[in-house]
Amino acid sequence: MPTDATTTDLHSSLAAVLGDRVAFEGPSLEATREDRSGQRSDAPPVAVVRAASVEDVQALMRIASATRTPVVPRGAGTGLAGGAMSSRGSIVLDVSGMDRILELDAVDELAVVEPGVLNGDLDAAAREHGLWYAPDPASRAISSIGGNIATNAGGLLCAKYGVTRESVLGLGVVLADGSLLRTGHRTVKGVTGYDLTALVTGSEGTLGVIVEATVRLRPIVRGAVETVAAAFPDVESAGAAVGGVAAARVRPAILELIDPVGLARVAEHLGPAALAGTPLEDFAPGETFLLAQLDAGDAADEAEVVARVFADAGGRVSRSTDAATGDRLLAVRRAMHPALASRGSVLIEDVAVPRSRLPEMFREIARIGERYEVEIPTLAHAGDGNLHPNFVFEGDEVPDRIWAAAGELFRAAVRLGGTLTGEHGVGVLKRRWLAEELGEPSVDLQRRIKAVFDPDGILNPGVIFAPEDGGDR
Amino acid sequence: MPTDATTTDLHSSLAAVLGDRVAFEGPSLEATREDRSGQRSDAPPVAVVRAASVEDVQALMRIASATRTPVVPRGAGTGLAGGAMSSRGSIVLDVSGMDRILELDAVDELAVVEPGVLNGDLDAAAREHGLWYAPDPASRAISSIGGNIATNAGGLLCAKYGVTRESVLGLGVVLADGSLLRTGHRTVKGVTGYDLTALVTGSEGTLGVIVEATVRLRPIVRGAVETVAAAFPDVESAGAAVGGVAAARVRPAILELIDPVGLARVAEHLGPAALAGTPLEDFAPGETFLLAQLDAGDAADEAEVVARVFADAGGRVSRSTDAATGDRLLAVRRAMHPALASRGSVLIEDVAVPRSRLPEMFREIARIGERYEVEIPTLAHAGDGNLHPNFVFEGDEVPDRIWAAAGELFRAAVRLGGTLTGEHGVGVLKRRWLAEELGEPSVDLQRRIKAVFDPDGILNPGVIFAPEDGGDR
């Protein structure tokens, strides 16, 4: 914690170098206490710097390094794990204003972007050239590429089209000392030295500040998208259908599951009119919803197979090729979060298990829900085994009982061969379970890797790793 | 360098712990002086350990750590950059005997393998379940998964199906101190902590010894494979065709190019009968060969587009759907290395440039060939911009003039936005150009990452990074 004298020095250094891009008070400071996790940090930062250029970021990091001031890099602020929230005594480095698409090369099928570019904006720009940007977190309209890379964001399409890491070719990263590191290439292949691009991807702002990214684009998938949706009598039969799709060697673009508790909340929220004409029209308590979308040249054949697998597993199936119906069914899935948020604060968990263990994981969720006497409505990206069990509670603070239930969820997922976070990141919210998944030796190794990049520990301290002194953030 | 006394200690420790799995003399030591790069190391190792288990690897690393003895991990010995050749005073750790497929899970579409499993054997085992293993170095019949992962091996299908890294879900890695680190998960998604799986992938045995890998399998691609081949009047027009395919938003599974010098050598080697009925039947000096294969549901439509693009660019085109013709045309491409090897020793280089820069890179190759008065027959994975310029020479040692020419090639590739090695790795052969591509600060950072894993520098010293003392290996 800086003394008053050094605080004054820090203020004057920041003001001298960054001018009106730094704020020491006002609502912009308070706003950085939150992300989309529903949590709130203990304190506002000492300053918010709205960087306009790589040079701004470098200048800030040099000042922070000289004064040992913690820096929290922040993009659109849509994170779900508390990885970009202010902490006491820190400077929040807001890069959301660095939002230019610097280059879009249609022949090499890549774009060079600043970190604040919104995922959806990049995708829209690519589509003008017959290309698209595949990583599709559900937040793509509001989340930025820098944050997507910092968390190695996932989404709905990952089983078929890969996670964010698979689309990142190279990065510009400002290190703790203010130096600019360039990683990777403009090529798909390249094995000169260690894969620092992949190491920084998913590092949640703890190794450096992403100031530029070279990302792959892909040719737009041609042809009609086929949608197959079904209501199943229970989670077990829907889980069997997921396994059946894999066994039939079909890999859908999208395969989303909503469990009975979640489905009940969605149905209440949307009302009967929204469900008319879908397999959920005659929705009965206890039913589970499964939605598949198939694309590319094999879509029609694959939809046929999926529809048969769903029916064989006991599903009440509807199949459609028109985009409007597909969108309407996807809207049911998208209504999950609003349906829960309308009832209270929502803690969205993010475990992943191998696809074959989904039925077991759903049994664990039911068991934990009963034990802690709490509803756990759950959505799953079933194609890749990523589940979002949700907890709804009152107020700003997650009750201890819910954290205890979440801890059991994490342990169950790890025991089944999975992970405590599939796509949201560890942030500050899940760091206390880190060693349970990775083991102490791996955590220790990773802390030492961080120290190579950031010897003074000023980059996003408390994120991923608990503070060494055991203090809280 | 150990003294005689410590050498005796080392011998007795190894013999006591590893029994008949260690050899101190005989042809197995001499054999480790070579890989497939055509180079030969200065000296045999002091011992070769043929590990039969993870415990063997751990035991060896504990002894090596205690005695500060360098260890060179080695799989099938098919590397092309000298990354697994013996060095003076080292122990070669041969894991090729650890070759069991431990598990093949058809529902979760993954396999757990020991490092010595041959790539082709894993693929064959997967195909019995309707799955395949996508990473396909041209050496897949003889190269092992451990080595593929250690070099992040590429191949022909990478533009469409990704490099090795994209298929590795998790690793078992024995560190320098003999401890076993487990990274990753059995899921496609997972963002708990840093991506150590990706960091170890491509690290060429310098961070740890890969003793187990969990890899993704994919559903076999359905439908007929379409082949489109063409002879072009020159490299420029073939390069334009490559750009045209990208502009048409088609991503072939395979897109291979052979330049005029290479084509002349292949044609001489194969003889006219092998080319009869192909676009190379009327092959004229100066012509360039381009071979595309299209798969999956859109193959027929895409082949139509590719054939039109090739013809518009001046190609003499043939198109076929029968597998025999496709295999015959691929055999022309596969004949490149044997054709060159029949004329002398071959140094295979491995630069990559953005696809749009291929014509410029070919002009650079021609310029360098003229300047150094050397033929540079070149093969390219044109879809991902990875070129293999070849140098043919007499004897065991690459002449300085050829290294000088290769150095200019590397610089040209980096200048065009690419890399000095697309898929073979740095090994000992390319380490002297490392800083020219990465810059000294990045090299320094990477050395410090290595030191986190391997504080005494016993893991494959001299590979990727030149020895700190400036000594040669």
Sequential DSSP letters for B166-183: GGEEEEEEE-TTSPEEEE
Residue contact B194–A199, C-beta within 8 A: yes
Residue contact A192–B420, C-beta within 8 A: yes
Residue contact B187–A353, C-beta within 8 A: yes
A227: closest CA of chain B, how far (Å): 17
Q: Are residues A50 and A161 in the same domain?
A: no
Residue B91 lies in a domain: yes
Residue A440 lies in a domain: no
Cβ neighbors of B407 (< 8 A, separation 6 or more) are B433
Residue A296 lies in a domain: yes
Residue A313: the pLDDT is 97
Share of chain A above pLDDT 70, in %: 98
Name every chain A residue with its beta carbon within 8 A of the beta carbon of B154: 189, 191
Residue B5: the pLDDT is 62
Residue contact B354–A422, C-beta within 8 A: no
Q: Domain boundary residue among B184, B219, B254?
A: B219
User: B122 with B215: CB under 8 angstroms?
Assistant: yes
Closest chain B residue to A183, measured at CA: B438
DSSP letter (8 states) at residue A61: H
Q: What's the whole-number average pLDDT of chain A?
A: 94
Q: Are residues A211 and A233 in the same domain?
A: no
Helix axes A358-371, A235-247, angle to 10 degrees: 160
Of B165, B438, B448, the CB nearest to A192: B438
Residue A176 lies in a domain: yes
Residue B62: the pLDDT is 98
Q: How far apart, in whole angstroms, are the C-alpha atoms of residue B269 and residue B392? A: 15
CATH code of residue B366: 3.30.70.2740
Helix (H) or strand (E) holding B192: none
CATH code of residue B11: 3.30.43.10
Q: Are residues A152 and A182 in the same domain?
A: yes
Amino acid identity of B6?
T
Residue B436: the pLDDT is 95
Name every chain A residue with its beta carbon within 8 A of the beta carbon of B107: 243, 246-247, 355-356
B21: closest CA of chain A, how far (Å): 29
CATH code of residue B107: 3.30.465.10
Q: Are residues A337 and A232 in the same domain?
A: yes
Q: Are residues A307 and A381 in the same domain?
A: no
Helix (H) or strand (E) holding B73: strand B71-74
Domain that holds residue A194: 101-219
User: A79 with A151: CB under 8 angstroms?
Assistant: yes
Q: Domain boundary residue among A341, A363, A393?
A: A341
User: B270 with A240: CB under 8 angstroms?
Assistant: no
Amino acid identity of B1?
M
Q: Domain boundary residue among B170, B189, B219?
A: B219
The secondary structure of A27-41 as a DSSP string is HHHHHTTB-SSS-B-
Residue contact A152–B191, C-beta within 8 A: yes
Mean pLDDT per 10-residue section of chain B, whose length is 473 residues = 68 96 97 93 97 98 97 97 96 98 96 98 97 94 97 93 96 98 95 98 98 97 93 95 94 96 94 88 91 92 97 96 89 92 94 95 97 97 96 90 96 96 97 96 98 98 86 47
Q: How far apart, in whole angstroms, are the C-alpha atoms of residue B257 and residue B360? A: 15
Residue B244 has phi, psi (to 5 degrees) of -65, -40
Q: Are residues B86 and B126 in the same domain?
A: no
Residue A456 lies in a domain: no
The predicted-structure confidence for A392-434, as pLDDT tens digits, reads as follows 999 878 999 999 999 999 999 999 999 999 999 999 999 999 9
pLDDT at A473 over 50: no
Of B207, B354, B424, the CB nearest to A187: B354
Helix (H) or strand (E) holding B319: strand B316-320
Residue B386 to residues A225, B351, B361, B381, B455, Cα–Cα distance (Å): 33, 6, 11, 5, 34
Q: How far apart, in whole angstroms, are the C-alpha atoms of residue A154 and residue A176? A: 27
Q: Are residues B424 and B355 in the same domain?
A: yes
Residue A454 lies in a domain: no
Q: How far apart, in whole angstroms, are the C-alpha atoms of residue B28 and residue B316? A: 50
Residue B194 to residues A225, A424, B12, B374, B420, Cα–Cα distance (Å): 36, 13, 39, 46, 26
User: What is the number of domains present in chain A?
Assistant: 4
Residue A419 lies in a domain: yes
Residue B3: the pLDDT is 56
Helix residue ranges, H only, B224-276: 235-247, 260-270, 272-275
Residue A191 lies in a domain: yes
| CA trace torsion B305, B307, B310, B316 (10° rounding) | -170
Q: Are residues B210 and B109 in the same domain?
A: yes
CB atoms within 10 A of CB B337: 18
